[in-house]
């Protein structure tokens, strides 16, 4: 039951064989590609939006890999039960420690025990809030394993046993971790080398250096009587840079005084 292999959503076949001939034939970029392993009751929710656009193209190209482990297959008994009522009473159901444990054990196969190289995460509104710095850390690792909760959450003992890091998408409560997982993986994958067409575009965007992004404009030059700021049409790159910088600072001060304060030495 527990020896079922994680299902691969990567559409490129990655050879596990280590024969030199295979290594030669395999595109280099596929080897050691960054990997997301998702433990979920709803594997059919993946790749979801991650299968579209730039993240989807990168998945097709093998620039990253996605594995889902169906929590149901680790369930108890004939009905593969995964949850039970909360100890102490109260509403809802809780995912069982033994069931989640079997899934995490399967998910840990072939993964370095060094959490810096491969974070083990439970998505939870109680967790540390996900941000761009965490996306950068994850992108610099070899991969990440993400446990998606459902119902009232997961038995605390299995989280303690594995030393799982709890991470939140924000101060709101979702029905399950799957949407949060996709948001976090999206933010991470776009930071991997060669995923975005224009690599420079991650350097100037919001949060990359503690500032929000400047406003963007494109054709038509006049729309509903509104013009594009003249400086952007001037062709003076120095002036354009100055304007953008000033706008980034203005917007950050106005909208996110918390970020602005943090930037000050």
Other CB atoms within 10 A of residue 177 CB: 28
Distance CA 46, CA 58 (A): 15
Distance CA 123, CA 100 (A): 13
Residue number, 68 or 124, with CB nearest to ligand SAH: 124
Choose which of 33, 99, 121, 169 interacts with ligand SAH (CB under 6 A).
169
Q: What are phi and psi of 182, to 5 degrees?
A: -65, -40
Residue 76 touches ligand SAH, criterion: CB under 6 A: no
Q: Which two tokens stand for residue 95?
A: 């995912």
Choose which of 33, 99, 120, 180 interacts with ligand SAH (CB under 6 A).
180
| Closest of 176, 191, 186, 237 to residue 41, by C-alpha | 176
Residue 138-157 contact track with ligand SAH, rule CB under 6 A, x = bound: ----------xxx-xx----
Residue number, 9 or 150, with CB nearest to ligand SAH: 150
Helix (H) or strand (E) holding 184: helix 178-189
Distance CA 113, CA 153 (A): 25
174 labelled binding-site residue: yes
Residue 45 touches ligand SAH, criterion: CB under 6 A: no
Choose which of 113, 172, 222, 262 interacts with ligand SAH (CB under 6 A).
172
Q: At closest approach, how far in Å is the CB of 116 from ligand SAH?
A: 22
3-state helix, strand, coil in the chain (%, to 5): 40, 20, 45
Residue 119 touches ligand SAH, criterion: CB under 6 A: no
Question: Is residue 25 classed as helix, strand or coil in its secondary structure?
Answer: helix
Choose which of 12, 54, 111, 174 interacts with ligand SAH (CB under 6 A).
174
123 labelled binding-site residue: no
Residue 177 touches ligand SAH, criterion: CB under 6 A: yes
| Closest of 140, 170, 251 to residue 206, by C-alpha | 251
Q: At closest approach, how far in Å is the CB of 147 from ligand SAH?
A: 7
Q: Which residues are annotated as a binding site for S-adenosyl-L-methionine?
A: 149, 169-174
Q: Name the site residues for ligand SAH (rule: CB under 6 A).
A: 123-126, 148-150, 152-153, 168-170, 172-174, 176-177, 180
């Amino acid at each position: 039951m527990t020896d079922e292999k994680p299902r691969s959503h990567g559409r490129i076949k990655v050879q596990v064989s280590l024969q030199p001939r295979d290594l030669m034939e395999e595109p280099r970029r596929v080897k050691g590609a960054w990997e997301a392993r998702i433990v979920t009751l709803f594997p059919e929710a993946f790749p979801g939006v991650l299968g579209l656009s730039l993240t989807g193209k990168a998945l097709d190209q093998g620039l990253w890999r996605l594995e889902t482990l169906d929590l149901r297959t680790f369930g108890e008994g004939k009905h593969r039960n995964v949850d039970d009522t909360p100890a102490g009473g109260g509403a809802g159901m809780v995912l069982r420690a033994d069931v989640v444990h079997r899934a995490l054990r399967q998910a840990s196969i072939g993964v370095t025990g060094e959490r810096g190289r491969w974070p083990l995460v439970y998505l939870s509104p109680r967790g540390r809030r996900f941000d761009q710095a965490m996306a950068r850390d994850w992108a610099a690792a070899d991969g990440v394993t993400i446990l998606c909760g459902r119902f009232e959450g997961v038995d605390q003992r299995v989280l303690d046993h594995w030393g799982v890091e709890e991470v939140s998408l924000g101060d709101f409560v979702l029905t399950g971790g799957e949407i949060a997982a996709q948001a976090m993986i999206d933010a991470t994958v776009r930071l991997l080398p060669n995923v975005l067409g224009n690599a420079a575009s991650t350097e100037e965007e919001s949060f990359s250096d503690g500032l929000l992004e400047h406003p963007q404009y494109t054709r038509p030059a006049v729309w509903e009587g509104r013009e594009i700021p003249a400086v952007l049409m001037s062709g003076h790159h120095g002036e354009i840079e100055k304007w953008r910088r000033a706008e980034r600072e203005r917007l950050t001060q106005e909208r996110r005084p918390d970020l602005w304060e943090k930037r000050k030495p």
